[in-house]
């Protein structure tokens, strides 16, 4: 799943195929799912068939579960997964005068969630309302691309 977003006058691609997790772990040394899952779960409130209304309340809920630097690290790993030529995070982010995180989150969160959560759990998460946790898969068959 690749999404291209126009930011600061340039097209930036983000690839949410699960290989982004390896890019993240190689660069930052930790498990990205421990960072991303609580934030993803917090933003889905089940309204509008899984489409999230991004507003101050939604972003506030997400920020309770992920700090800014962790969020930026995830975005960098998704971008690096799409384009192996992008530089180290600090250098890459330094090239942007503006970085519309609310717009990026609106575009990236659904594809990121779909790459990390089984279809069944994603549908339950987006239709049953805000939940504290997603059930762990009970079999290898329920793990997508892990």
Question: What is the per-residue pLDDT across 14-44, written as a single tens digit (0 to 9) for each?
Answer: 999 989 999 999 999 999 988 888 887 777 6
82 contacts 112 by C-beta, under 8 angstroms: no
Cα separation of 39 and 75, whole Å? 13
- Is 0.75 surpassed by the pTM of this model? no
The model's confidence at residue 127, banded by pLDDT at 50, 70 and 90, is low
5 contacts 107 by C-beta, under 8 angstroms: yes
Region 86-92: mean pLDDT is 97
């Amino acid at each position: 799943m690749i999404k291209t977003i126009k930011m600061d006058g340039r097209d930036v691609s983000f690839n949410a195929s699960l290989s982004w997790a390896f890019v993240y772990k190689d660069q930052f040394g930790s498990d990205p799912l421990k960072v991303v899952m609580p934030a993803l779960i917090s933003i889905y409130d089940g309204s509008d068939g899984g489409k999230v209304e991004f507003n101050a309340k939604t972003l506030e809920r997400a920020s309770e579960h992920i700090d800014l630097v962790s969020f930026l690290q995830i975005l960098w790993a998704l971008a690096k997964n799409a384009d192996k030529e992008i530089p180290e995070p600090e250098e890459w982010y330094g090239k942007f005068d503006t970085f519309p995180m609310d717009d990026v989150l609106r575009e990236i969160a659904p594809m990121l969630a779909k790459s990390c959560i089984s279809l069944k759990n994603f549908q339950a998460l987006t239709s049953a309302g805000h939940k504290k946790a997603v059930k762990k898969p009970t079999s290898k068959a329920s793990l997508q691309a892990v």
